[in-house]
Amino acid sequence: MNIEEFRDYCLSFKNVEEKLPFDETTLVFYVMGKMFCLADIDAFDYINVKCDPEKAIMLREQFDEVTPGYHMNKKHWNSIKTSGRLTDKQIKEWIKDSYDLVVEGLPKKLRAGM
């Protein structure tokens, strides 16, 4: 997966917007104002995704390419190496899981409008 494919995939979900809130290279994707995924656009080596805490630990134990979220809450975020033995399908699944997790955490009123 390259940065363009990553960006297109993240933007394919409902109510998603992208911003550069931290600096000129950290691209962050939001659903209804809540962050669900981010990556460095210059060095697209890793992406950060939100993850259920128990699943986060399991993925870290199972895959060397999955580590605690860099500069993020280590309990709720994973960093995923974009090169290596992981398939695009796996990475997309974890991005979708992150999106779904954030949507589930939104107030009912906001979810109803989606």
In the chain, where do the E strands start and end? 16-19, 26-31, 34-40, 46-50, 66-68, 77-81
For 55-105, what is each residue's pLDDT tens digit? 999 999 999 999 999 888 899 999 999 988 899 999 999 999 999 999 999
Tell me the whole-structure pTM to 2 decimals.
Answer: 0.94
**3-107: which CATH architecture?**
Alpha-Beta Complex (3.90)
Task: State the virtual CA torsion across 54, 67, 64, 42 in degrees, nearest 10.
Answer: 140
